[in-house]
Amino acid sequence: MEESAENREIVNRYRQLLRVSKWSRQKGDITLIRKAFELAMDAHRDMRRKSGEPYIYHPLAVARIAAEEINLGTTSIVCALLHDVVEDTDITLDEIREDFGPKVADIIDGLTKISGVFDTNSPQAENFRKMLLTLANDVRVILIKLCDRLHNMRTLEHMSDKGQLKIASETVYMYAPLAHRLGLYAIKTELEDLSLKYMEPVIYQEIKQKLNTTKEQRNRYIRSFIKPIKIELDNLEVPYEIKGRPKSIHSILNKMRNKSLEFEDVYDLFAIRVILDSEPEEEKMDCWNVYSIVTSIYKPNPDRMRDWISIPKSNGYESLHATVMGPKGQWVEVQIRTRRMDEIAEKGYAAHWKYKESSEGNNNLDSWLNQVRDILETQEGNAIEFLDEFKMNLFAEEVFIFTPKGDLRKLPKGATALDFAFEIHTEVGAKCLGAKIGGKLVPLSYQLKNGDQVEVLTSSKQKPNKDWLDLVVTAKAKTKIKQSLKDEKRSVAEMGKETLMRKLRNAGFDYNQENINKLCAFFKLEDELELNYRIGKGQIEKEGLKVKDILSASSSKHKSGKGPKESTSAKRSSDEIVLGDENVDLEYSFAKCCAPIPGDKVVGFITVGGEIKIHQTNCKNAVNLMSKYGYRIIKARWADEKKAEDSFQAAIEIRGIDRLGLVGKVTDIVSKQLKVNMKSISFESLDGTFVGRLVIEVTDTNHLDSLMKELKGVDEYVKVRRIPLERDELAENYGNKR
């Protein structure tokens, strides 16, 4: 009976997929989609998801997201249905190629997860890099991968805590920025919010609850705000739609943290969007007319005006943004765009990608994909390093720069004259001496501003040096500089290698990996290349390179089982922290970057040296580690029983209106009323306001929360928040004590 109900549900979901993809289908497409569905159905017949549902629900959902939420066509729907078939079943890529053609096979090959051993410390990073390699050839790979990730995030409640943290960290680290870069704002926003839901569940639910509580109040306000605008727009004789734009939980939290605001103080919780059904040739004029109407009714904030209609973003985003002062002194953000612009903003320029062989695609997207391809072609070695540099450019705001001939170039905000030189051409960048802007000479480090017209000055004698890496921000420039430095480094290292081989031979040792590793460990160098380079440059002095003594000492140390004595002062066996699904008795230490205290949600991470570090799950370092090295995560939680004498240091910031006796009130609450031990306290006053910083000893987050609640009650203007401990405090907190 259950199987019959499941089969009916599968058929129902398949029909829904056909309905949402109807607009894009051509003759023969239904046959192809059905063929892919039947193959996936057969291949996954005996498989179940973590939720217990039939596995086929997942590829059907991914295909539906691709068709409905990104407007992808039949080829993408077929690939979405088959995206796990090669990885999880006996069906081969050759069979896919034979049944569905080379294009489908190539996309599925890009989608297939990597399994096996990689020449890197991180399968996750290598997996991202492979995706990007395929992306450079066909953008549908990453679009379907984003659909796959979105559905996994929507059903993440069925995973273990460790699995949730790993997947959520990967998502916020790389998938959300990729969605942003491809213009998929709706998907990017949902991925960020879902990641937050599992990484910081308490604060996620708090903000969600506050949004729900204030929803009707916000709706009433928006109705009163748009009433006079509608009267004027009706006279414009252009069909339009006005709708509220809810701000995402993730963006609200970011604003609260970055600007030290309470939820109630986030001024652009109110936002509306005006969407016009304009004729193509009238789009700009209609948008500016609406802007004129809105700003004649409500006073605009000139610093918050954004014009992405005259010069769209690189991912194709077009819109006019104005922040205006509405009734009752509330700021409201107004976004003005046409129906075409709105579709691009919600579903990305990739939704309009023309997939036929003759397609030229979109110039902006083409340009970006060419940059990706260029970086990937020269990238070697460290996949993590590549990812960090690549990710930098995904979220970056842009500046618009002109060449001497008037051509427009778009670069990330903060880009320098040297970045611009590499943007023009690798050779121009490598030979760059400086630049002229408006006829005035500027250095390589000059940060470009919107509208700059840049002339690059070059010399055949110039070549990149290591300091250049501090002068650029774009992944392209960093990659090209590193490539040039590596080429030079290799030639020096070759000479060093010959010297080392000769010394080893004279001392009676072989040039093999074991001996190289011992020498690298002795000189504290990261790899063989660095060792040979240092020898080639003469940085390892001849008298310091007594290979016989070094290798002989290393061998005897190994045989006797003795090694360098490790300090265990910062390590503990599991009494406060429970590691794994059961309490495994392993040594651990608390990460100094986030200083977790009991009550914080925590995770263990196994370092390269084999130590276990305990991080808060929302720690930025932990997010990066979990996204790159998911296989080194170890489940961790606080033990239920804590020793009564256990205490942890935490830092809090308190802000408010400066008035007589306030510092006394604060210290009275902390020391006398709540009996909390203060390690340090400092207050600064500025033009009638104050900011204070307290380092206190607490037993857990409940203890800290109750203290912060009491301090907020000092007066109505006081704001209190937890902040990170500083380096010297961390040493005291997590040094000798644990």
State which CATH number among 3.40.50.720, 3.10.20.30, 3.40.50.10420, 3.40.50.300 fits the domain covering 397-472.
3.10.20.30
pLDDT tens digit string along 77-94? Answer: 999 999 888 888 888 888
Domain ranges of the chain: 2-158, 212-352, 397-472, 483-560, 577-638, 648-734
Count how many Cα atoms sit within 13 Å of the Cα of residue 314 in the half-sphere of its side chain. Answer: 25
pLDDT tens digit string along 686-703? Answer: 777 888 888 888 888 888
Rounded distance between C-alpha atoms, residue 359 and residue 176, angstroms: 27
The token pair that represents 202 in the structure block: 């308490």
Q: What CATH number labels 212-352?
A: 3.30.460.10
pLDDT for 539 beyond 80: no
Rounded distance between C-alpha atoms, residue 489 and residue 529, angstroms: 8
DSSP string, 340-375: HHHHHHHH-GGGG---STT----HHHHHHHHHHHHH
Predicted local confidence at residue 280, as pLDDT: 86
Q: Determine contact, residues 398/449, Cβ cutoff 8 Å.
A: no
Mean pLDDT of 171-179: 84
Task: Tell me the pLDDT band of 609, cut-offs 50, 70 and 90.
Answer: low
pLDDT for 557 beyond 70: no
- Residue 21: closest CA among 68, 86, 79: 68
- Residue 487: closest CA among 464, 515, 462, 512: 464
Rounded distance between C-alpha atoms, residue 203 and residue 62, angstroms: 29
Mean pLDDT of 710-730: 77
The token pair that represents 234 in the structure block: 């009706």
Rounded distance between C-alpha atoms, residue 523 and residue 22, angstroms: 65
- Residue 692: closest CA among 708, 703, 704: 708
Task: Tell me the pLDDT band of 133, cut-offs 50, 70 and 90.
Answer: low
Rounded distance between C-alpha atoms, residue 124 and residue 383, angstroms: 9
Look at the block and give the residue holding tokens 């709105």: 342
The token pair that represents 166 in the structure block: 């790993």
User: What percentage of the chain reaches a pLDDT higher than 70?
Assistant: 81
End-to-end CA distance of the chain: 58
Q: What CATH number labels 2-158?
A: 1.10.3210.10
Mean pLDDT of 706-718: 83
Pairing of strands 677-686, 689-698: antiparallel
Lowest mean pLDDT across 44-58, 90-104, 129-143, 357-371: 357-371
Catalytic machinery residues: 87-88
Helix (H) or strand (E) holding 385: helix 383-392
Residue 666 burial (C-beta neighbours within 10 Å; 0-12, 13-18, 19+): buried
Beta bridge partners of 648: 698
What average pLDDT is seen over the chain? 79
Which residue would you say has higher pLDDT here, 510 or 370?
510
Which residue would you say has higher pLDDT here, 573 or 386?
386
Mean pLDDT of 4-11: 87
Is 648-734 assigned to CATH 3.30.70.141?
no
pLDDT for 574 beyond 90: no
pLDDT for 68 beyond 60: yes
Coil, strand, or helix at residue 697? strand
719 — phi, psi (to 5°)? -120, 135
The residues near 51 (Cβ < 8 Å, ≥ 6 apart) are 155, 158
Mean pLDDT of 616-639: 79
Mean pLDDT of 603-620: 81
List the beta strands (DSSP E) in 420-465.
432-437, 440-442, 454-458
Predicted local confidence at residue 376, as pLDDT: 54
Predicted local confidence at residue 558, as pLDDT: 47
Q: What angle do CA 114, 118, 123 make, to 5 degrees?
A: 55
Number of H-type helices and E-type strands within the chain: 29, 20
pLDDT tens digit string along 406-442? Answer: 888 888 888 999 999 998 888 899 999 889 987 889 9
pLDDT for 560 beyond 60: no
User: What percentage of the chain reaches a pLDDT higher than 90?
Assistant: 18
* Separation of CA 154 from chain center: 18
Predicted local confidence at residue 381, as pLDDT: 47
pLDDT for 114 beyond 80: no
Task: Tell me the pLDDT band of 230, cut-offs 50, 70 and 90.
Answer: very high
Mean pLDDT of 630-658: 76
Predicted local confidence at residue 134, as pLDDT: 55
Lowest mean pLDDT across 139-153, 604-618, 690-704: 604-618
Task: Tell me the pLDDT band of 565, cut-offs 50, 70 and 90.
Answer: very low
The residues near 315 (Cβ < 8 Å, ≥ 6 apart) are 180, 181, 182, 183, 348, 349, 364, 365, 368
Predicted local confidence at residue 368, as pLDDT: 60
Mean pLDDT of 183-190: 87
pLDDT tens digit string along 468-490? Answer: 988 998 888 888 888 888 888 88
Residue 671's identity, in one-letter code, is S
